[in-house]
Chain A
Amino acid sequence: MNGFDASDGDLMLEYVLLGVSAISLYLSVFWLNVLHLEKARMMGTKKPRQTIFPTLSLIVPAFNEEQNIAKTLASLLKLDYPKDKLDIIVVDDGSNDHTAKIVRAFKKDGVRLLNKKHSGKGSSLNFGLKAAVGELFGIVDADSTVEPDSLKTLVPHFSDPKVGAVISGIKVANQKKILERLQRFEYLFATLFRRLLTALNTLYITPGVLSLYRRDVVLRLGGFDEKNPTEDLEMALRLHHAFYKVEMELDSVTYTTVPSTIRAFERQRVRWCRGHIHNILGKYRDMFFNKKYGLMGTFQFPLHVLAPAMMIFAVCLVLFSVYLWVASTVWQALFTREALLAFTIPTIKQFFLNINLRVGFSVAVLFLLGLYLYNKAHVFGKKSGTFRELFYSSFSFIRCC
């Protein structure tokens, strides 16, 4: 009964939402197209039988890992790889628990233990790298377990001399709490996404869960950056910077233990964010829009800035919209009794006629594409999604940017 109201704020919000949904839609469609092209290669291509097995050293950096190290080493010892070509090295980074004692029990199985003063993962990796003897070397986190055929599926990638590193797919081992289960979907999605990045040669990370490298290349490039918050991200970027490829093998699966408390989760994510900013916006910023580095410079790097910016912006937009709604509706109702008394529930026709279809249509299509991509992630992860799991995945699909 109040006559006609016009809101410039609503109009601005609509334009911004249109812009954000258009960009997100483009990126979703883009990745779906890449997925479509890669589908045949990912699902059925017969891989040649590996007959030559290069010497390989697996480095396990460990700091106070008495809870997990035994399981990790047991899984490494089950690897289907010629035992005379495989060297397992545990670098104890000055643990003050029983990590070293547990590792010594595996000495009879050929596991080497190196002790050093506590100085961080980067220095542990370099310490292990110096002691490694293999043509290739791999990093395995001390809280991860590998499947027996992991190495055999990763090694063939090195037949291409331009490949500097290969990573495996990651699944979550601990799935009891809600936080752990949410991360499970995130890792499932990330695995598919990284495989798609491989198709564009823009894979920007070599996670410590299980990644293989050419030892001579890494040594020539100076080893791991010991002062870097995310040495795995930094090494991948360094390899790209030196024009090496980083690839991902979907058939190789490793299991990792994810943070199970909010505090540990926050610490991990803050470190990852710091690492991204330090490396992408700092150390390797010369790769931005640099055609020399192919799509890594012209596409992936800008996307690395755009995607989180859009996510933060989208969250702010949602919070701002909620604030506007609260301010105009609930606030008035609380402080204007009359508004509360005058409130009427809209009819179904009124509800549908009030939908903003210009924005809503793109957002609806975007949501459906996200669900489709998520389902594909499950298929490639050899698991099928249930509706309950689809609900938990709602934040995962944003990462398709």
Chain B
Amino acid sequence: MPLPKKHYKRVFIVSGIITLIVFLAGVGAGYWLDRFRVDDVVSALKQNELNLEAFLVEQQFLDALGGEACEILEPRFRDLSRNLGEIGRTLTQYESKRIFAQYDYEYLKARYSLLEIRTYLLLLELTKQCGAPRVGVLFFYKADDETSIRQGYILDAIVKKYGEEKVSVYSFDRDFKSEAIDLLEAHYNVTEAPAVVINNEIIKNGFTSRDELEPLIAEVIKGD
């Protein structure tokens, strides 16, 4: 015998309410995870900024009061670079899945870009001071651009081959509005994406194959 009408009407309504609760719980859980991801990245950025400040203080200390600055500072710089690289990879993964809200995305990207620039400047200074063979590469790209993606993979492979202690890559989105990035582009005369600047000297606009890029980087590492 079928259910009475009032029962199945109730079933429809109760099912809708339960579905809505589960659905909202999922959306809520997703939102919570998004905030967790943003907080995770912000926390990593803050830690890196703090480490950078500490590095600068230590550098000043050693300059003022003497000591084996290069022996102490080089390992510290390696850690800084590695952490920065991890933050970059995390941000790339999250952004490819459109996990961030627009305002979070712009804030984190701006903060990350500034941190990259400061770390890059530190690298140049450290290289001048300590003379250790280390290559800093500025990589200018456009998001969703096939050749930029390929160029990125080439740089990743080179870093993997030589190690992060020898090669550090700092990437900047040409489409992202930032005065600091505009300044870099103007200084190095970057006219297209992808573009690569190696150790403040060698500038390559347009896609550079691995066969062309790797010898340039290897030479810098061998040189000095």
Contact = CB atoms under 8 A, between A and B. Distances in A.
A202 to B, nearest CB: 9
Given A4-B95, A356-B97, A342 B27 contact: no
B23 A30 contact: no
B8 interface: yes
A83 interface: no
A398 B2 CA distance: 24
Given A11-B98, A22-B23, A198-B2, A5 B92 contact: yes
What's the dominant secondary structure at chain A's contact region?
helix
Nearest to B152: A2
A317 interface: no
Interface residues of A, number: 46
Given A25-B19, A37-B7, A200-B2, A7 B98 contact: yes
Contacts, number: 149
Interface in B17-31: 18-19, 22-23, 25-27, 29-31
Given A4-B173, A353-B40, A357-B30, A29 B19 contact: yes
Nearest to A163: B1
A272 interface: no
Interface stretch (B49-57, B67-75, B141-149): B141-149
B26 A5 contact: no
Interface string B92-114: 11111110000001000100000
A336 interface: yes
What's the dominant secondary structure at chain B's contact region?
helix
A198 B2 CA distance: 6
Given A3-B148, A338-B156, 11 more contacts: A1-B85, A3-B92, A4-B143, A5-B144, A11-B98, A25-B23, A160-B1, A247-B1, A341-B157, A350-B93, A359-B26
Interface of A: 1-7, 10-11, 14, 22, 25-26, 29-30, 33-34, 37-38, 160, 198-201, 245, 247, 295, 332, 336, 338-339, 341-342, 346, 350, 353-362, 365
Please provide the 9 A-B residue pairs with the shortest distance between their CB atoms, ordered closest to farther.
A361-B26, A358-B30, A342-B156, A2-B152, A4-B95, A338-B153, A201-B2, A30-B15, A341-B157
21 contacts: A1-B85, A1-B139, A1-B155, A2-B153, A25-B23, A29-B15, A29-B19, A30-B15, A37-B11, A336-B153, A339-B153, A341-B153, A342-B157, A342-B160, A353-B33, A356-B30, A358-B26, A361-B22, A361-B26, A362-B23, A365-B22
